[in-house]
Amino acid sequence: MKIRIDYFSDTNFAPSKAMREYMMAAEVGNEAANEDPTVNRLIDMVCAMLNKPAGIFLPTGTMSNAIAYKTHVRNTGDYIILDETSHPLIVQSGLIAGLVHATALPIKGINGIFRKSQIEELVARPAVRNIPKVRLVSIEQTTNFGGGAIWPLADIQEIYALCKQHNVLMHLDGARLFNACIASQISVAEYSKYFDSVFVDFSKGLGAPVGSILLGSKKFIERAWYYKFQFGGAMHQSGFLAAGCIYALENNIINLAEDHKKANYLAKNLSNLRNIAINPDLYQTNIVYFSLSNSEISPKKFLASLLQKGIRMVNIGNKIRAITHYGISYSDIDQTLAVINKILSS
């Protein structure tokens, strides 16, 4: 069955014709020698937007997290604090242990968001011979497996003050940072201010095929270059890819507001269906989670029935996840609701 309506991920829609044409026309050079003019232009644009001194172009968000962690960590085994549902812990092939050689210290947050009080003791603990030091707190904005929730600025500020006091660094996984900004009306620069490193992704809702930028101080980025080479992320004529990211920045951020409205429309209408458990108020951005209540049907069977009609969602544990994006229209959502209604009442 061909997938017609794909809620699997906001990466799952093809670059527009205009983006492809813009990419093909890019001026390029040797990126690994800092000589690709389009990559350099993208880095300058993003540094200006986020008000950070330096940046580095990387193929994926996963590599951005890995290189940021690797660059920040001092001793093997150092602790990295992050929410227990964070993307690097769940779906990045164990990179904290496998590649960074650090120890993840998972915190049980709510919707991917933890509070200062939960980490205060850990952050304040002095280094001792036989216990690793907490080196880094890593936060995800928005939270993927937390349902696209937005970290409140006040919580970030409190954690920042705590970390500063104890010389602990902060990293922002900004795979969907622009979604948070559009929804909260808080600027990317304001969110970024509290972090020693930030990455932003262009291949999620922004629709570029590849690309992210990791930002930080000049010294941090110089060290990040070492790991970019070590991890095989130093590229050559990658200006073609950077051009897709520039196109996305200039044209597609505005689409994210529409993605959020679509997710809200989906969530509100799902809440009116029988045998669906969802609190639509939880979903402020483009990620929706729901579960099947009082129903004989298992999540697996439900997803298979959807797929038979060309509609794809996924299950994360017992919950079903749907992500809206540019490639999904309101009429697609109406069709989806009708199909779900039929599956659940049969």
Can you read off the two tokens belonging to residue 291?
Answer: 């579960």
Q: Does 184 bind ligand PLP (CB under 6 A)?
A: no
CA gap 342, 346 in Å, rounded: 6
Nearer to ligand PLP, 58 or 270 (CB): 58
Q: How far is the CB of 230 from ligand PLP (least distance, A)?
A: 17
Q: Does 192 bind ligand PLP (CB under 6 A)?
A: no
Q: Does 60 bind ligand PLP (CB under 6 A)?
A: yes
Q: Does 196 bind ligand PLP (CB under 6 A)?
A: no
CA gap 168, 136 in Å, rounded: 6
Among 36, 78, 173, 259, binds ligand PLP (CB under 6 A): 173
Nearer to ligand PLP, 123 or 214 (CB): 214
| In contact, 146 and 285? CB cutoff 8 Å | no
Please tell me the number of Cα atoms within 13 Å of 223 on its side-chain side: 14
Among 15, 55, 61, 207, binds ligand PLP (CB under 6 A): 61
Q: How far is the CB of 92 from ligand PLP (least distance, A)?
A: 7
Distances (CA, A) of 96 to 88, 89, 143, 195: 7, 8, 18, 19
- Helix extents (H) in the chain: 17-24, 37-50, 61-72, 87-91, 95, 116-124, 153-165, 177-184, 188-192, 218-230, 239-251, 253-271, 299-308, 330-345
Q: How far is the CB of 113 from ligand PLP (least distance, A)?
A: 13
CA gap 206, 335 in Å, rounded: 25
Cis amide bond preceding 85, omega within 30: no
Mask 200-229, x = binds ligand PLP (CB under 6 A)?
Answer: -x-x--------x-----------------
Q: What is the DSSP letter of 112?
A: T
Part in contact with ligand PLP (CB under 6 A); list of ranges 55-63, 155-163, 228-236, 331-339: 55-63
CA gap 345, 70 in Å, rounded: 51
CA gap 104, 260 in Å, rounded: 31
Of residues 11-50, those binding ligand PLP (CB under 6 A): none
Size of the chain in residues:
346
Nearer to ligand PLP, 50 or 175 (CB): 175
Written as one letter, the residue type at 69 is Y
Among 175, 278, 287, 343, binds ligand PLP (CB under 6 A): 175
Q: Does 62 bind ligand PLP (CB under 6 A)?
A: yes
Part in contact with ligand PLP (CB under 6 A); list of ranges 14-22, 43-51, 59-67, 217-225: 59-67
Nearer to ligand PLP, 78 or 201 (CB): 201
Q: Directed axis angle between helix 61-72 and helix 218-230, to 10°?
A: 120
Nearer to ligand PLP, 93 or 298 (CB): 93
Residues that bind ligand PLP in the complex, under the rule CB under 6 A? 60-62, 87, 140, 144, 173, 175, 201, 203, 212
